[in-house]
Amino acid sequence: MSPELDVEALLADRGTRIVVCCGSGGVGKTTTSAALAVRAAEAGRTVVVLTIDPARRLAQSLGLTRLDNVPRQVEDVADGRLWAMQLDMKRTFDEIVESHSSPERSKQIMANPFYQSLSSSFAGTQEYMAMEKLGQLRLEDTWDLILVDTPPSRSALDFLDAPQRMARFLDGRMLRLLIAPARAGGRAYLKVVGAGFALFARILTKILGAQVLSDVSAFVGALDTMFGSFRERAEATFETLKRPGTAFLVVAAPEPDALREASYFVDRLGADEMPLAGLVVNRVQRNGVPELSAQRAEAAADSLEEMEAEPLTAAVLRIHADIAARARRERQLIGRFAKAHPEVAVREVPALAGDVHDLAALRTMGDALAAVKG
């Protein structure tokens, strides 16, 4: 049996400065992050919650008309001790460019077609910028707790992998090679690097097109003074995530794919020596009458239908049988996870009657996370 995850103690610990909610898509990371943020703020912490979810559910549930790249205060929670924001990856990239180059150079970079594509749709940009924004929030030191809702992606591992991949790309040898023609100048460059790279450049031109290659070269040339800083910042934030004061919460639903992804993430966090606080399993079905099994309920419903008596009771029994069977399947799935990871603390959050769409529902979910009896 897994140890119980003490969410209340985690949020109350002033040494905890960053909580990262991660997991596969559709498991309730955003609502979990928001519920934790509301509970922590109402317990006296000064909190900012950063979401990367484009569905804007966080703004609606917190009673805000919109969220953007600037933290916005939630007035109806804990006398304004809660702020919320939604990552704008392009604006975050623009801010990096503006802070590390002159106004003229910034304008040149941001007008470049390759930069425009890179900053808005390039694979890994969202995860890299999530790390950037987290680093910025930590340096501001305005909040004593930062809650991060990680990006929805095909694999939860992307949040850890993509920033370093992006940094290596922006600070990589290939991009440096692409700027070399502009530095050396035309034919003189080809004499310097030899026929091997000339052939490589001709192949790239055929694949990408002369204009794209020119855009890339111009982008790298304008960005040259920033080389190295991308990798350094990504590595600095990565190291921050490994230090005491950070806690990872893996969020899952009681479903095979979600718990399999959670298992992969737990293994990866362990391999990277990241501080795992535990697993939150959302939307767990409870059997309200555990002494009445699914099989007995089905048998009773069959008997009533054969007698053509109490059709409403028979229907209720079948509903109960479905709920009981689902609860049993979920218990088995959670049990398998616990057997594979007996050291991981677990908190099960029962399925709520409706969607989490306002502060009252977030508080109810916060109570469930903290195991407060209703």
Segment 323-366, tens digit of pLDDT = 999 999 999 999 999 999 999 999 999 998 778 888 999 999 99
pLDDT score of 9 more than 80: yes
Q: Please give the average per-residue pLDDT across 48-66, as a whole number.
A: 81
What is the residue extent of each domain of the chain? 7-169+228-288+330-369, 172-226, 294-328
Q: 98-117, pLDDT tens digit by residue?
A: 887 788 878 888 887 777 87
pLDDT score of 33 more than 90: yes
Per-range mean pLDDT, top range of 47-56, 72-81, 138-147: 138-147
pLDDT score of 77 more than 90: no
Q: 253-275, pLDDT tens digit by residue?
A: 999 999 999 999 899 899 889 99
- What is the structure's pLDDT at 60? 81
pLDDT score of 152 more than 70: no
The average confidence (pLDDT) of the chain is 82
> What is the topology classification, in CATH, of domain 7-169+228-288+330-369?
Rossmann fold (3.40.50)
HEC per residue, the chain: CCCECCHHHHHHCCCCCEEEEECCCCCCHHHHHHHHHHHHHHCCCCEEEEECCCCCHHHHHCCCCCCCCCCEECCCCHHHCEEEEECCHHHHHHHHHHHCCCHHHHHHHHCCHHHHHHHHHCCCHHHHHHHHHHHHHHHHCCCCEEEEECCCCCCCCHHHHHHHHHHHHHCCHHHHHHHHHHHHCHHHHHHHHHHHHHHHHHHHHHHHCHHHHHHHHHHHHHCHHHCCHHHHHHHHHHHHHHCCCEEEEEEECCCHHHHHHHHHHHHHHHHCCCCEEEEEEEEECCCCCCCCCHHHHHHHHHHHHHCCCCHHHHHHHHHHHHHHHHHHHHHHHHHHHHHHCCCCCEEEEECCCCCCCCHHHHHHHHHHHCCCCC
pLDDT band at 200 (very low <50, low <70, confident <90, very high): very low
pLDDT band at 216 (very low <50, low <70, confident <90, very high): low
